[in-house]
Copies of this chain bind each other. A is one copy, B any other.
Amino acid sequence: MAESKLEIQMLHDRLLVKAVPDKSERRSSAGLVIPDTVKLATRLAWGEVRGAGTGARHVKTGDRVLFDPEEQGEVELNGERYVILRERDVHAIANEAPERGTGLYL
């Protein structure tokens, strides 16, 4: 299919994010796997940024971002599913040269 000429741009501080599957299971401190149905705190998720609006100050394409996956806008592009975030809703980022790293790694 010839490349459509309509290139996508994010507006304001919006981010186009590809969710990264979460291998970790919830275990209580006693090691028991906690099924998701148990309403604990909100489980945050990591995703990779594939596009950022001109209003995004701290996050750039290629960064991993930590966000609340519930109630986010979702769009399908060329068979891939993406989530749309606002930069202000991003809790943390992970990349190879953070400005102020925590010493913790993804």
Q: Does A36 interact with chain B (Cβ within 8 Å)?
A: no
Residue of B nearest to A88 (CB): B12
CA distance A29 to B68 in the complex (A): 20
Residue of B nearest to A77 (CB): B104
What is the interface size of chain A, counting residues whose CB is below 8 A from a CB of the partner? 63
Tell me which of B5, B43, B79, B90 contacts A105 (CB under 8 A): B5
Q: Which applies to chain A's interface (DSSP): helix, strand, loop or mixed?
A: loop
Q: Does A30 interact with chain B (Cβ within 8 Å)?
A: no
- Report whether A73 and B41 are in contact in the complex, using a CB–CB cutoff of 8 Å: yes
Q: Does A6 interact with chain B (Cβ within 8 Å)?
A: yes
Measured CB to CB, the residues of A under 8 A from B are 3-12, 14, 16, 21, 24, 26, 29, 40-44, 50-51, 53-54, 58-59, 61, 64, 66, 68-79, 83-84, 87-88, 90-106
